[in-house]
Amino acid sequence: MARSPAFLFDLDGTLVDSVYQHVLAWKRALENASIPLSVWRIHRRIGMSGGLFITALARELGCTISDEDLRRIQSDHSQAYAELVAGVRPLPGANALIAYLTDHGIPWAIATSGRRSLTALTLRALDLPPDAPVITRDDVEHAKPDPDLFLAAAARLGMPIGDCLVVGDSVWDILASRRASTLGIGLLSGGYGLEELQSAGAYRVYEDPADLLHHLDEVGVRP
Applying CB under 8 A, the residues found at the interface with a second copy are: 13, 17, 19-20, 23-24, 36, 38-40, 43, 89, 91-92, 188-196, 199, 208
Is the omega angle on the peptide bond into residue 223 within 30 degrees of 0, that is, cis?
no
Task: Compute the least distance from the CB of residue 39 to a second copy, in Å.
Answer: 5
Looking at beta carbons only, is 6 or 30 nearer to a second copy? 30
Looking at beta carbons only, is 18 or 113 nearer to a second copy? 18
Q: List % helix, strand, coil for the chain (3-state, nearest 5).
A: 50, 10, 35
Looking at beta carbons only, is 147 or 168 nearer to a second copy? 168
Task: Compute the least distance from the CB of residue 28 to a second copy, in Å.
Answer: 9
Of residues 7, 16, 17, the one with CA closest to residue 203:
7
For helices 171-179 and 148-157, the axis angle rounded to 10 degrees is 70
Task: Compute the least distance from the CB of residue 87 to a second copy, in Å.
Answer: 8
Looking at beta carbons only, is 1 or 37 nearer to a second copy? 37
Angle made by CA atoms 119, 64, 26, in degrees to the nearest 5: 30
Instruction: Evaluate whether 25 touches 84 at the Cβ level (below 8 Å).
Output: yes
Task: Compute the least distance from the CB of residue 69 to a second copy, in Å.
Answer: 21
> Any bridge partners for residue 141, and if so which?
none
